[in-house]
Amino acid sequence: MVAAVTGFSGCPDKAEKKSAASSNTIDLLTSQPWQVDELIHNVSGENSHYIRGSKNTTNVNYDLMQFRFKKNGTGTHTDQYGLEHRTSWQFDKKDGHTMHLVVHLGNDLSFTWRMVEIGAESVYATTAIDQQGEDDILESFRLTPVR
């Protein structure tokens, strides 16, 4: 799901560019770690579904996956294997509902989370993942606070 829930393009610049997201939205996002609670995964027209604790037809263990966002535009992502990776992120300068995330691996993975909605108890987003010649992937997901 690193490939999926962590999808987007672009590497955040430092504080030189102002985000369109409100400071309250950023405060909510950075206030706690987040885990995948539900995810709908579409690969080349075939749907699969994950619901924490009850259903998983995706063949990916999302139970271990987490995201931590810091106010300085960095953070961490724990993947489906329990491995932690550094991240960088930023909201689009013109659209507070589009967020760019980079997972720093040997080769950086870039994702654009769209239709982002953030509340005290949930983060919702959808991302298209380009696998460079592989099957196209679309994911829509809800993150909830790690308990």
71-95: per-residue pLDDT in tens? 999 999 999 999 999 999 999 999 8
Count of CB atoms within 10 A of residue 55's CB?
11
Continuous segment of H or E residues that includes residue 4: helix 2-5
Torsion of CA 35, 39, 43, 45, to 10 degrees: -170
- HSE of 5 in the Cβ direction (CA atoms, 13 Å)? 29
Q: Give, in degrees to the nearest 5, the angle at Cα 73 between 8 and 66.
A: 65
Domain range for 138 is 2-10+18-145
Q: What is the CATH number of the domain that holds 55?
A: 2.40.128.540
20-64: per-residue pLDDT in tens? 789 999 999 999 999 999 999 998 889 999 999 999 999 999 999
Alpha-carbon distance values, 113 to 48, 53, 79, 121 (Å): 19, 24, 17, 18
What average pLDDT does range 91-109 have in this prediction? 93
C-alpha–C-alpha distance, residues 102 and 87, integer Å: 5
